[in-house]
Structure 1
Amino acid sequence: MTDEKKAKLIRKAVMLVIFGGAIGLGYFLKMPVWDFSKDKEEEVADAEAEQLIRDEMNAENRLTILNSMVDGNPDSEKLKELLEQLKKDKYGDQVEPVDLDIQKCKNLADEHAVDLEEFAGQLDFYADGQKLGTLKGVTDPVVVEQTIDRYLAGLVKRYGPNWLPNVEGMTRRNTATQAVAQPKPKPSGVPGMERVGGGVPGMTRAKPGQSNLRIEPADQPKK
């Protein structure tokens, strides 16, 4: 066997050892070293999840609340529970909380400027695909509820009283059917006197050509 053949065999042996070691390490760590099909499936699933969220943001006749979620973050979990409770107890179909997993939907997270370093909960409000505002670092239930009420009132004012769906147990005032106050007519005649039948109380209208003026004689002084 020549030196050249020996060198080729050694190179093949080294390559087999490296290749076998890589496969063995991959199985040991449960990570696919050479098969990238799983990563592709994850990318497709993440893209579909992101599209579903965008569809929710464009939904009509409701206020969509986008809740940025970070695994293990107590603020995002607290906001999730709060929004679900408010929907159940107060708003019904008027609002729809939607979870945004910022690890999976990185494009949406970047669009909403989610800051992981200083993350303390973030809510983004949408209606008909239009962004209404953002609430960052606030988990106070009172502030969250007041913010939702303000946006809902603005939507009713913008789109009309029938824009949002009805909620059982709640009555929405229909401003379109409210009576408009009419100005009171100005009083005519002498202040403190009321005209009856077109005349003045205690007086009789004279016929044409006649006068109803009668002069009473003055009282004579007693002798």
Structure 2
Amino acid sequence: MLLAGEMSSLSCPCLGPQVQFNVVVSAFSLSELPSKAERAEVVQTLWRKTSNFLILVENGTKAGHCLLMEARDLVLKGKEKSPLDPRPGFVFAPCPHELPCPQLTASEPLACSFSQAYHPIPFSWNKQPKEEKFSMVILARGSPEEANRWPRITQPVLQRPRHVHCHLCCPDGHMQHAVITARRHGRDLYRCARVSSWGDLLPVTTPSELPPAAAIDPPES
């Protein structure tokens, strides 16, 4: 594994052109670079060092998400190939597609972010668990067929009596607010949706398998 911070030293042996890593991670680093050109150079270097997965993490804000989409497009559209591995790149997660992000092209752009709870250092004034939002993208070498192209849940799941609300990023590049019920979709998918969390994949093949948000079954008598 290669961490982006390890590349700061020019004497680091990992900078050799013949060295690659299965997993390369850059966390909260792109936002510290002052220009687009510098970010592009770093992303290209990280991608050349990647043999399997490149993981990029930034703050869960629109600015952080835009930086990740910039890096994502650079890898997907880039013509430069590693001398050791000419395989193209694809999005492994969280996007179930390589199309423009529907969160950013919406009438009211939103960051595609996720939430992680953590326990801070237990000082007397800092004992309560906290929660941090982050955005990420995982790029992989190979073919998109190697990834599960299921819709990704992009907001907290809302559980209601006899139905569940899920906001999904779908493989066709669109967002969908789906209402899932046992009557319409079967108990297996309904139970799966009820126990799913923000950031999970929902195991349906196409968005057409889900009804629009307005279609809610009436209460059973």
- Same fold by TM-score, threshold 0.5 exceeded? no
Larger strand percent: 2
Larger helix percent: 1
Which has the higher Rg, Structure 1 or Structure 2?
1
TM-score, normalization by structure 1? 0.25
